[in-house]
Each structure stands twice: as C-alpha cells, then as structure tokens.
Structure 1
Amino acid sequence: MEKSRTNPVGLLDKAVAVANSMHRDELLFSYKGILYPTTVCSPENFKAFESFEARKDDVILAGYPKSGTNWLSQILTDLIAISQKKTPGSESSVNAEEPEEETYFEIGDAGKYERMTKLPSPRFMVTHLRPENLPKSIFKTNAKILLLIRNPKDVATSYYHFSNALALLPSYETWDDFFTDFMTKKMAWGSYFEYLSEWNKYADKENIMTITYEEVKENPALSVKNIATFFGIPLTEEQLQLVVERSSFQSMKKNSDKTHGSFGNIFFRKGGVSDWKNLFTEDQNEKMDRAFEEHIAGTKLGKKLKYDLYCKA
C-alpha cells in the first residue's frame, strides 16, 4: 500500500488522536467565512483543489453533515460496482491493489487531488461543501451531482449527538448551547439554512438530482431505482433488492466495524425520522420555523423537504 494514500478509517484515528490534545477553541478554523474541522480539513486543501479537474463521469454526492451522506454513499458505491459488472460487497468489487482514498472531497491531505488524477473512472466523491466553494470544473463538466437534503430539525438533533461523540468537533454541555450555535452559524461547514439556500440556486440544473433523506426512508426501492436511472445505471430486480438490503440501517450498522472501525456506533446511531421531538422546546421550534420561512420556504428545495409534514410539532 502506498503510504501517501489516505485510508479513511486511519485518517479518522489520527485526527481524533490530534483533536484529543487540542483546546475546544482550536478544533475549528474559518475559511472564507465558514468554519471547518482543523484536524481533517485545511486552508491548503481548499487552495489545492481550486485547480482540480473534474471529469464528466464523476459521481458526486453533496449533503450537509448529518443529512445521511454515509447511507447514500453505500447506495452509490454499490451502484457503481454494478455498473462495472461487479457484485456489491463481494471480493471482486474491491481491488486489493487499489487502496481506498478518502471519498469526502475536502477531507484529507492536499496531495490527494494529485493522486485523484490517477484514479480510474468513475470516481466517487462526497462533499459537505456549498456549491460556490466547490472547484469550478465540477460545474463546467456538468458532472452529475446527487444532492441529499434532510429536515433541519433532525439534522440539528443528529449533529448534536455526533458533535458530542466525535472528538474532531466541539462538544456541548447542553442541547440549548448547541441549538444556539446551530442557529448562529457556528457549526462546522456553516449554516444549514444558508447551505440549502445556496444549493437551491442550482436545483433546476439537469445534472443535479435532489433527494430527501425522508423519501429514501419512506421508499428505499423506488429511491434506489430513481438514483440508478439518474446516473444511467441499469438494474435487474435482483440487483435492486441487493442494494436496498445492503443499505438498510440494520445492515450498515452491523457492517460498521469493517466500514468505520471503532467509529461505527458514532456514525450509525439511530437512522430514524423525527428524533428532534425528544429535544426541541416550543421556543426552539418557533425559532427554527421562522428561520425556515425566512431562508428556504417556497423554494424548490424548501417544498421538497415537506417541512409541515416532518417539522411541525
């Protein structure tokens, strides 16, 4: 294995070890007005990928933290394997000669973008970045992007538990403290409402498909079928069922030791809908409802979120 490559679990192990020795105030840094985790992102990364050359057949998943990107990554990885005539999860779908590269685009070392030029197509990338902070070449090539969004109250709830479980991010003594930061843009990767607002400007483009966490939860088979169609990947009924089974929360949690090492329980906590009802106060509900109205209600993404169905007490 080339030592220069970024093994995802190894990268996380090292980052957590470094974060454990850091003061809470040092865990995040600001770049162009948005906060990022110091131990896995860097200003050097952001400068290095400005000249990154996207390919038309790149497969890109965009989603704010805790929107379900690990879940959809599993689905897309399996669909890519099928497109290459491999069986998802089998030995043949993993090339032992080709060590894993960290799929999260902005995470890792600055040298990864040079290494990515040598990766075979289709390259799979995940990002939490807003569109204006992605390399310009992604939009010039019209590479296909699956945009994943989730109801804001469950995003906040999941992010709270995640922040308290993973040393890379500042932890919080109370939910109230976290909620204040979430609503005042003090989160890693910035404000979720601004994220939605910026991506909404791209929502009508032909190379972008928007899907919600909730609709995948409601009908996994239809969602997988629609995603496969968008990326031009034909599926047999048997292949469809295999992808659906492998991407169930139970299956992914069971397999998380292999995929996420000791961090499995952190990344796969509940995987449900409406957990926010266990935390939000009436006042917090009203504040978030107002923020939603102000930033995103009435837009294409706002309507897609079905806020009244999933976010009204």
Structure 2
Amino acid sequence: MSRNRERFIETVNNSLLQTEKLASKGMLFSYRGILYPTSVTSPETLEALQSFEARSDDVILVGYPKTGTNWLEEIVRELESAGGKYTEEEMRENINAEKKLDTFPRLEFGDPGIYERMKELPSRRVITTHLPPHLLPRSIFQNKAKILLLLRNPKDTAVSYYHFYNNMPVLPSFASWDEYFADFMNGKVTWGSYFDHLVEWNKYMDNEKIMMINYEELKEDQVLGMKKIAAFFGFSLCEEDFHTIVKNTSFQAMKEKSKETHGMFGDILFRKGVVGNWRNLFSKAQNEEMERKFEECLGGTKLAAKMKYNVYCKA
C-alpha cells in the first residue's frame, strides 16, 4: 500500500474520531460558490492548487464524487504498475518518496504546501480529483497531461452520494431522501452540481488528451474498458495482466480489503456498486424532474450520448 493511501487513512480516521466535537455548520466551507468538507481541504489549499505543476506524463483521473473514482484509481494504479514493469527497488523508492512527502490520493486534499512537495514525486504520477475544469490548475491543460474522465449516470450517482452523506460522520446528514434530492438537484452538496460538472466537461469532448469512460461500461466489460485505458495512456500489458487486475479490483475484492486500503472509511465507501439502484428511491415526480434537468443541461450533446442516459436512466 502506498504512503499517500496510509496518510489518507490516518487523516480520515482522525476526522471520524473527532466528529463529535465538530458542529454540523462547521463541517463545510464554500469556495467560489462550491461546498467542500473542512476535514480534508481548506480555502488556502484550493488557492494554492493553482501553483501545482503538471507534467506531460502525469496520469490525471477525474470524476465527480460517487461516480466510482476510488475503483477507477485502483484499476489505473494496477495498470500503471503492471505496464511500468518496475523492479522491487523502484517500487520501494516510489513508496518511500510518498511517505517522506506526505501526499494524498486527491489533488485538492491536504495542506497548502502539498503542491511544492509533489514536485519531488517521481514520474509517472497518478493523480485523482473531483474538480471541474475551471478549478483545475492551468498547467494540466498547458502541459498536455492526459486526463481520464469517469462518467456515471446521474440517478445512481445521486443515490450513492445520498448514502455516502448520511454514513460519513464528517458530512452533515439529511433527514430524508426528499430533502437530499432537492439539494443535489440545486448543487448544494460538496463539490457542487453534477450537472454543472458534466456541462463543463462536455466542452472537452473533442480534446485528444482527454478520454471519457463510463462506470457502467467498466462494470459490463472491465477487461475491454481497461484495454482502452491502457492504450490511451500507453501502458503495455499482456493478456494475463488484464485478467489478474480484474480479479484484484472487482467490487467484492475491494470491499473485502477496504479496511486495509481505506481504514474506517472503507465500510462507508464500498456499499453496493451496482447499476440501476436509483429505482429504489426515485419517485415518479423526481424521475421526471431529473429527466427535464438532464435534457435542459445536456440534451443532444456528445457527452449525453457517451453516457447512454436513455439506457441507464430509463424508468
């Protein structure tokens, strides 16, 4: 396990243990109109983020919360590791570098000094974020780092985020699904509106440095999805590697080892990982409201076609 994962576990575990001392109103802060949890970041860190210096060989993973970014990150790290054919000594050096520098598994997490420390990390860096394009450091686009954007149908995303909110002690809980749904639709949740997030990324559909992949697509055929990812980033793997990674990164496998990889956070993070669970919570009126919202924001776009909204969100 990498040191940045260990550091994250330590931070989250401490946050969970200290939650009783934190009033609900102190759990979040607003930065440029978007809410963030005080337990993992700060306005000062988000300001300092613009100083981050991207490299052309950085592997940038982007996904709105609860779209499957933890799963994708594990898959890509395994692909990068297998494709890099690192020696044991190189692996130890990478882990020791992360340990020394106290890095985190999300670009926007940590203290303001983290971006200066990240300069010392060896290439190839795998960096994950929930941020939309306008809040990402300009260097990511200027230096032409490759970006893998994960998409998930908004109905399942909303449901997964609802359970996450109510199970995560460092976030304020909701009294009901109806109360949460109204806030989700209005972007009054951490990391803002999922619709705004998608509208922004739709503008990058034709950027050759950006690849978009569906959560649902990965669930249906993980090997095929991984082959597309490997080709995009230039990872060289044999057929056996792909099948080994599938075995190591299945939802059940990750759930079983979640305490080891994510500490107390593990039970909260890995819940069901299924497609179509939204049908258990959405009312007819809520379904129609989201249909209208999606059509208004993304109807007829290339991103909507890529998401297969009409397939995965059909009532």
**Is this a same-fold pair by TM over 0.5?**
yes
Give the AA of the match of 2:230.
A
Are the aligned partners of 2:51 and 2:115 in contact in 1 as well (CA < 8 Å)?
A: no
Give the AA of the match of 1:20.
E
Deviation at 1:91, TM superposition (A): 10
Partner of residue 278, structure 2? 276
Partner of residue 180, structure 2? 178
Are the aligned partners of 1:5 and 1:112 in contact in 2 as well (CA < 8 Å)?
A: no
Partner of residue 40, structure 1? 40
Deviation at 1:6, TM superposition (A): 7.7
Deviation at 1:19, TM superposition (A): 3.5
Are the aligned partners of 1:28 and 1:38 in contact in 2 as well (CA < 8 Å)?
A: yes
SS state at 2:96 partner: coil
Partner of residue 168, structure 1? 170
**1:291 matches 2:290:** no
- TM-score w.r.t. structure 1 length? 0.94
My pick for the range that moved more, 15-24 or 224-233, is 15-24
SS state at 1:190 partner: coil
Is there any run of 5+ residues in structure 2 with no aligned partner, and where? none
Deviation at 1:101, TM superposition (A): 2.4
- Structure 2: distance between partners of 1:184 and 1:77: 34
SS state at 1:234 partner: coil
CA deviations on 1:200-240 (whole Å, 9 max, x unpaired) are 11121011000010000011000000000000011101111
Deviation at 1:243, TM superposition (A): 1.3
Residues 284 and 86 (structure 1), Cα distance of their counterparts in 2 relative to 1, 3 Å cut: same
Deviation at 1:185, TM superposition (A): 1.3
- Structure 2: distance between partners of 1:28 and 1:91: 42
**Superposition pairs of residues 91-110 of structure 1, within 5 angstroms:** 93=91, 97-98=96-97, 99=99, 101-110=103-112
**Superposition pairs of residues 12-51 of structure 1, within 5 angstroms:** 12-51=12-51
Is there any run of 5+ residues in structure 1 with no aligned partner, and where? none
Give the AA of the match of 2:201.
W
Give the AA of the match of 1:223.
G
Residues 70 and 91 (structure 1), Cα distance of their counterparts in 2 relative to 1, 3 Å cut: farther
Partner of residue 75, structure 1? 75
Partner of residue 114, structure 2? 112
CA deviations on 1:47-74 (whole Å, 9 max, x unpaired) are 1121211000000100000000000001
CA deviations on 1:80-115 (whole Å, 9 max, x unpaired) are 11132149xx99856553326212000111121111
**1:158 matches 2:160:** yes
Partner of residue 255, structure 2? 253
SS state at 1:72 partner: helix
Partner of residue 56, structure 2? 56
- Structure 2: distance between partners of 1:73 and 1:81: 12
Higher helix share: 2
Are the aligned partners of 1:11 and 1:108 in contact in 2 as well (CA < 8 Å)?
A: no
Question: RMSD value over aligned CA atoms?
Answer: 2.0
My pick for the range that moved more, 32-41 or 128-137, is 32-41
Deviation at 1:26, TM superposition (A): 1.9
**Superposition pairs of residues 219-238 of structure 1, within 5 angstroms:** 219-238=221-240
My pick for the range that moved more, 106-115 or 226-235, is 106-115
Give the AA of the match of 1:247.
T
- Structure 1: distance between partners of 2:127 and 2:169: 24
- Structure 2: distance between partners of 1:281 and 1:102: 38
